[in-house]
Amino acid sequence: MEVALPKDLAQDVGVAKRRHAELCRQKGLFNARSRLIGGDSEAWDVQLRDQKIKEATEKARQETFAAEMRQNDKIMCILENRERRDRRNLCRAINNFQQSSQLPESRREFDLSDPLALRKDLPARLSDNDARNSISGMQKFLGEDLNYHTRKKLQEEQNREWSLQQQREWKNARADHNSAEARHTHTRLQLDNTAQHLQMLEGGTRKALCAMVKEFNRNQALESAARRKREKQQEQEDNLAEITNLLRGDLLSENPRQAASSFGPHRVVPDRWKGMTQEQLAQIRLAQKQQIQEKLRLQEEERQRNMDWDRQRVQKARATLLQERQQRRQLRELHRALDSSNRGLAGEQQLQKKEMNEVFTNYPTGNYFSQFNTRSR
């Protein structure tokens, strides 16, 4: 039975969060109804920052690979030098052995003609480590060594130690597994109790807040009703007083002294004034004629000023037109030079494309293009 460790749970939670974020992003991008018209600058900034982080990570990874490759090259050079030195030492040892041990007197052919061969000959087997016990000599077989019983006892002791070690390792692994499972269960219970306590606190806070809001709204409603009642009563009293004043005042009774102002005899109260005299009307007409003449003079000055501005604007427009023509001529010459350069580059690109088509014959199919635009990244 597999047990989910805390590290695995954290990794699963991270994977689930990333998947949920990806689904939300796809829902916002692939839904034509909720997608905004235009570009998402925040998403572009996030993508740009992710791209920079990815490029920096890739650069660091490439630098790490390069450092590892340089280290491997150094190790390879050291190993090659060591191998050449070992090969040299081996050749020197073989030569020394041939010169010191492979003499004519030590060859088997010399024993055929040696008259003292039987006297010099040794027994077929002196010990288990006898150098003459070769594989082809068939003087020693598996299980026929002289210390067979001692070796068998040591092997049995070694097997027993291995068995005890395996049992100890199994018990330790079982204890670690039980401890990890107990810690996981304890942590889960603590998280559940904490979540339940927070939920209870949130429910109590929400109820208290709702009660406070309800009481505040009820008090506001009572105050608003009382204020509207007072305002309505005050309005009725004000209307009654205004009607009484109008009925009893000088306005409806058309008293001529009511228009006299307290600031002087030449000033009147506008809301009580009933009309002007002929002298006042004549002065007003004279002032109006003077205002008309002044307005005509100002209009003539404005017309002259507008004509001056129009003449300056036409001159500036003519100079701007000449400058634009000069710029267009320079732009045409620049475009002509750019077109010539582009034709040269197009010819080179066609030659390069022709060479690439001759070299690369494996063209992408529709399945290659259908794999794009399936995710939000």
> For the residues of 147-207, what is the DSSP string, one character each?
THHHHHHHHHHHHHHHHHHHHHHHHHHHHHHHHHHHHHHHHHHHHHHHHHHHHHHHHHHHH
When pLDDT is averaged across residues 101-122 and rounded to a whole number, the result is 72
Helix pair angle (148-248, 6-30), 10° resolution: 40
Q: Estimate to the nearest angstrom the gap between the alpha carbon of 375 and the chain centroid.
A: 15
Rounded distance between C-alpha atoms, residue 89 and residue 122, angstroms: 33
pLDDT-based confidence at residue 36 (cuts at 50, 70, 90): low
Rounded distance between C-alpha atoms, residue 66 and residue 71, angstroms: 9
Question: Can you give 22-39 as a three-state secondary structure string?
Answer: HHHHHHHHHCCCCCCCCC
When pLDDT is averaged across residues 318-340 and rounded to a whole number, the result is 91
Rounded distance between C-alpha atoms, residue 124 and residue 130, angstroms: 9
Contact 287, 295 (CB under 8 A): no
**What distances in angstroms separate CA 347 from CA 112, 352, 360, one per listed residue?**
89, 9, 20
Q: Give the closest residue to 99 by CA, choosing from 108, 87, 110, 91.
A: 91
Query: What does the buried/exposed string (b/e) look like for 47-63 if buried means 16 or more CB atoms within 10 Å of the residue's CB?
Result: eeeeeeeeeeeeeeeee
When pLDDT is averaged across residues 58-77 and rounded to a whole number, the result is 92
According to DSSP H, which parts of 249-277 are helical?
250-253
Rounded distance between C-alpha atoms, residue 287 and residue 295, angstroms: 12
Kindly report, residue by residue over 254-302, the tens digit of the pLDDT.
565 666 666 766 676 677 666 666 777 888 899 999 999 999 999 999 9
**How many other CB atoms sit within 10 Å of the CB of residue 140?**
19
Q: Does residue 250 have a pLDDT over 70? A: no
Listed in sequence order, the residues at least 6 apart from 117 whose beta carbon sits closer than 8 Å to its beta carbon are 111
**What is the structure's pLDDT at 1?**
46
Rounded distance between C-alpha atoms, residue 369 and residue 168, angstroms: 58
Kindly report, residue by residue over 179-204, the tens digit of the pLDDT.
888 888 888 888 888 888 888 888 88
Q: Which amino acid is at 107?
A: R
Mean of the per-residue pLDDT values for the chain?
82
Rounded distance between C-alpha atoms, residue 69 and residue 63, angstroms: 10
The domain spans of the chain are 14-90, 174-231
Q: Does residue 233 have a pLDDT over 60? A: yes
Q: Spell out where the chain has E strands.
A: 260-261, 264-268
Tell me how long the chain is.
377
When pLDDT is averaged across residues 127-131 and rounded to a whole number, the result is 68
Q: Does residue 98 have a pLDDT over 70? A: yes
Most confident of 12-26, 114-128, 153-167: 153-167
Rounded distance between C-alpha atoms, residue 1 and residue 177, angstroms: 11
Q: Give the closest residue to 184 by CA, choosing from 7, 17, 16.
A: 7
Residue 257 DSSP label = G
Rounded distance between C-alpha atoms, residue 173 and residue 176, angstroms: 5
**How many other CB atoms sit within 10 Å of the CB of residue 258?**
16
When pLDDT is averaged across residues 82-103 and rounded to a whole number, the result is 88
Query: Which position has the token pair 């073989």?
Result: 94
Residue 320 DSSP label = H
SS3 label, residue 263: coil
Q: Give the closest residue to 98 by CA, choosing from 107, 87, 110.
A: 107
